[in-house]
Amino acid sequence: MYINVKGGLLDLAKPRVMGILNVTPDSFYAASRMETEGEIAVRARQILDEGADIIDIGAYSSRPNAGHITPEEEMGRLRVGLEIVNRECPDAIVSVDTFRADVAQRCVEEYGVAMVNDIAAGELDERMFATVARLGVPYVMTHIQGTPQDMQRAPRYDNPTREVFLYFAKKTSQLRELGAKDLILDPGFGFGKTLEHNYELMANLEEFAVFGLPLLVGVSRKSMIYHLLGGAPDDALNGTTALHAVALMKGANILRAHDVRQAVETVRVIEKLKESHNP
């Protein structure tokens, strides 16, 4: 279970943590918004110091009902963020969180970004698959129903797990035909799903192992936690940690997290548990 990043191999048999760096003014979790140069630099160093293996930088908020911004504005925010990350953390593995092929290409070619994390698996830009295949970088494809602007209005499924499974079967086939390598699956918790849909997907997460591909889980401080427990994103760390542990036991290879230290500690605990179960 390896992916090729920056000319080397990253072993995902040991679960990794992807730290979130939002260079946006409107991400759903207010504490994650980094807008000044100082804030971005501190956050980038914090992600690595707390043990993450990947920095995931995003400039387009994908929260439900998020405002739409132009590719130029997205790239402008990313340019500032990536220049700072490259200066402060030159050896870091950096992923760009974008659904736009042109933005992904510029980030990879101009700023050395090592991975593309697409919340829509090509659904919002038909050029994305050909672009990532040509770039030859690892590609995270996320299941989504709708767009960030409308995905939570009335999501409907007959069988969420089956429908997400078939979605990935189709997408992986298309990408492989184009020659894309190092594919990573993200079931898309919160992307066009009710609370019940999200928990059904989590309960059946191990079924996605049949693809033989790394699995990324992004539940950090999301509404599936605080709508169940009460409160707001600020109150959702404990629930996040609980779901991280469940996801790791069910085969997750990457945790995308706001709270890096807690996610790293969860990985260590679950890995020790597995090791003790199979001495």
Mean pLDDT along residues 192-199: 95
CB 21 within 8 A of CB 85: yes
Token pair recorded at residue 242? 């609980």
Please say if 6 is a catalytic residue: no
Indicate which residue of 100, 193, 221, 256 is catalytic: 256
| Model pLDDT for residues 118-174, shown as the tens digit of each residue | 999 999 999 999 999 999 999 999 999 877 766 777 788 999 999 999 999 999 999
Please tell me the predicted confidence (pLDDT) of residue 68.
79
CB 129 within 8 A of CB 104: no
Picking from 112, 135, 117, 134, the residue whose alpha carbon sits closest to that of residue 6 is: 112
Domain 16-277 has CATH 2.40.128.20: no
With a CB cutoff of 8 Å and minimum separation 6, the contacts of 226 are 232, 233, 235, 236, 239
Instruction: Show me where the domains of the chain are located.
Output: 16-277
Mean pLDDT along residues 174-194: 96
Judged against a pLDDT cut of 90, whether residue 66 lies above it is answered with no
Please tell me the predicted confidence (pLDDT) of residue 93.
98
| Greatest extent of the chain over all pairs of C-alpha atoms, in Å | 53
Please say if 222 is a catalytic residue: yes
Q: How far apart are CA 185 and CA 1, in angstroms?
A: 13
User: H helices of 112-255, where?
Assistant: 128-135, 160-177, 195-203, 223-229, 237-249
Mean pLDDT along residues 209-230: 97
Judged against a pLDDT cut of 70, whether residue 254 lies above it is answered with yes
Judged against a pLDDT cut of 60, whether residue 28 lies above it is answered with no
Indicate which residue of 100, 193, 222, 274 is catalytic: 222
36 falls in which pLDDT band (50, 70, 90)? confident
